[in-house]
Homo-oligomer: A and B are copies of this chain.
């Protein structure tokens, strides 16, 4: 259970007190504010605050005095133009602040995106909760035999059982020992900043993460991609839903020009042109490596 009743009461209190503002408001995002959307077994994503909406992108692109909107239709066209031609600065004019609860090994991947602001729960100052990510059986995958950094089939039978037994047992024991070490009942009690080193990477942490829309979309392009590790992809997928409701035009353009599209190399583009002229292009005569040819085939088959 990601949220305690006390935490839920705090969230409900926040949602019960609308106030007046003169700022841009996104009705779609107001629906999501503060709510905890579950991800994995104990994690969540919550929107804490946002700045701007689709119109704010146009307003900044036009450096306008008023709303910047001429018409809804114009706005969508402008946003698509900006996305298509990599004019990124107007998208930077929207900002999102999330509260995320996530396993430490996911947090370590996530933090590589440096163009964001982060405040993480401090294990020097506070005591971590006893919550660990234990994969669902269908996610207990074997090492991929094709891709050195991917997953293959799910483990089965006794092997799967043994893995779950290990993960659960080690998590429980390490946390028991963590508690024992920091306890000052009848003894000194180890400093928290030291005791935390005994905890495994599937323990949950949490942070406030704030990012502008341009950098958020870049994050989503890499992390909502099928090559991303499953445990971070589910967070990206959840955030995609929130962004779709927050800035629908921008998100639609992102889907069309980034997620659903493809980047062709000079060699791949040459192959496509030859194909369209009726030439039979093959692995042998394509002029690219076997791997690049396979990737092009996948793109063209869809």
Contacts and interface: CB of A to CB of B under 8 A. Distances in A.
Contact of A151 (B184, B191, B257, B300): B191
Interface string A258-302: 011111111111101101100000000000010010010001111
Q: Name A's interface SS.
A: mixed
A1 interface: no
B261 A256 contact: no
Contacts of A52: 49, 97
B122 A149 contact: yes
Contact of A18 (B21, B66, B108, B124): B21
A190 interface: yes
Contacts of A115: 114
Contacts of A114: 114-115
Interface of A: 3, 7, 10-11, 13-15, 17-25, 30, 33-34, 48-52, 56, 59-61, 63-67, 77, 80, 84-86, 89-90, 92-93, 95, 97, 99, 103-105, 108, 111-112, 114-115, 117-122, 124-125, 133, 135, 139-144, 148-153, 155-156, 159, 162-163, 166-167, 170, 173-174, 177, 180-182, 184, 187-194, 196-202, 206-208, 210, 212, 222, 227, 229, 255-257, 259-270, 272-273, 275-276, 289, 292, 295, 299-302
Given A22-B17, A170-B174, A201 B193 contact: no
B269 A265 contact: no
Contact of A300 (B22, B50, B67, B272): B272
B210 A181 contact: no
A181 B199 CA distance: 18
B25 A30 contact: no
A60 B118 CA distance: 9
A14 B99 CA distance: 31
Q: How many copies of this chain does one complex carry?
A: 4
Q: Which 10 A-B pairs have the closest CB atoms?
A: A260-B266, A10-B66, A197-B202, A92-B117, A142-B188, A114-B114, A7-B65, A124-B149, A125-B149, A18-B20
A120 B165 CA distance: 30
Nearest to A158: B187
Contact of A25 (B21, B95, B190): B21
A181 to B, nearest CB: 6
A277 B10 CA distance: 53
A21 B105 CA distance: 35
A145 to B, nearest CB: 9
A257 B255 CA distance: 21
B22 A14 contact: yes
Nearest to A180: B166
Contact of A261 (B111, B150, B163, B264): B264
Contacts of A198: 166-167, 170, 200-202
